Structure 1
Amino acid sequence: MTTLATRPTTSEQPALRTPPKKTSQRAALVVALVLGACFAALPVVWMLSSSFKTNPEIFEFPPRLVTPGFSFDAYTTILTDPTKLRFFLNSYVIALSVTALSLIVAVHAAYAFSRYEFWGKKTINVIVVSVQAVPPITLLIPYFGLVVALKLYNTYQGLILTYMVFTLPYAIIMMTGYFNTLPKELDEAVKVDGAGPLTALWRILMPISVPGLVSVGVYTFMICWNEFLFALTLTRTEDMRTVPIGIQLLMGQHSYEWNEMMAMSILGCIPVLILFLFFQRYFIGGMTAGAVKI
Structure 2
Amino acid sequence: MTTEDVLLRSDSGRVRTLILNRPKAYNSLTVELKERLLAELRDASADQEVRAIVLTGAGKAFCAGQDLKQHIGLLQAGDDAPLRTVTQHYNPIVRAIVEAPKPVIAAVNGPAAGAGAAFAYAADLRIAAASANFLMAFASVGLGPDSGASWTLQRLVGYGRAAELMLLARPVDSAEALRIGLVGEVVADEDLAARAQELAAKLAGGPTAAYARIKGTLTAAAESTLEEALAEEDAAQTALGATADHREAVDAFVNKRKPDFTGA
TM range (shorter): under 0.3
Who wins on radius of gyration, i.e. which is larger? 1
The structure with the largest helix share of the pair is 1
* Structure 1 length-normalised TM: 0.22
* Structure 2 length-normalised TM: 0.24
